[in-house]
Amino acid sequence: MKKTIVALALVASTITLSACSQTERGTAIGAASGAIIGGAVTGRAGGALVGAAVGGAAGYLIARSDRSGYCIYRDRRGHRYEARCR
């Protein structure tokens, strides 16, 4: 039951942060994924914490490696393009 509550809390926080910047979003998704994987592999809260820390750091580094100041947008036809962030 605890694992389910923790997983739901992490998913909720990830959804909440989805409106933030690319870096914050990447960090949140990495931390949530790492916590879920760490908890599933070890079956302990400590594994989930370590997974969240490692996943968050990896998500941050990956998100920061993108072109700074540029975002990916979709036009009305669904085509993706890159332009300066608004």
Q: What is the pLDDT of residues 18-70, one digit of tens each?
A: 556 777 788 888 888 888 888 889 888 888 889 999 988 888 877 776 666 77
Q: Is the pTM of this model over 0.75?
A: no
Residue with tokens 């989805």: 18
pLDDT of res. 14: 62
Element (DSSP H or E) covering residue 9 = helix 2-16
Say if CB 26 and CB 56 are below 8 A apart. Answer: no
Say if CB 62 and CB 30 are below 8 A apart. Answer: yes
Residue 17 token pair = 């942060």
Position 8 confidence tier, pLDDT thresholds 50, 70, 90: low
pLDDT of res. 15: 63
pLDDT of res. 82: 81
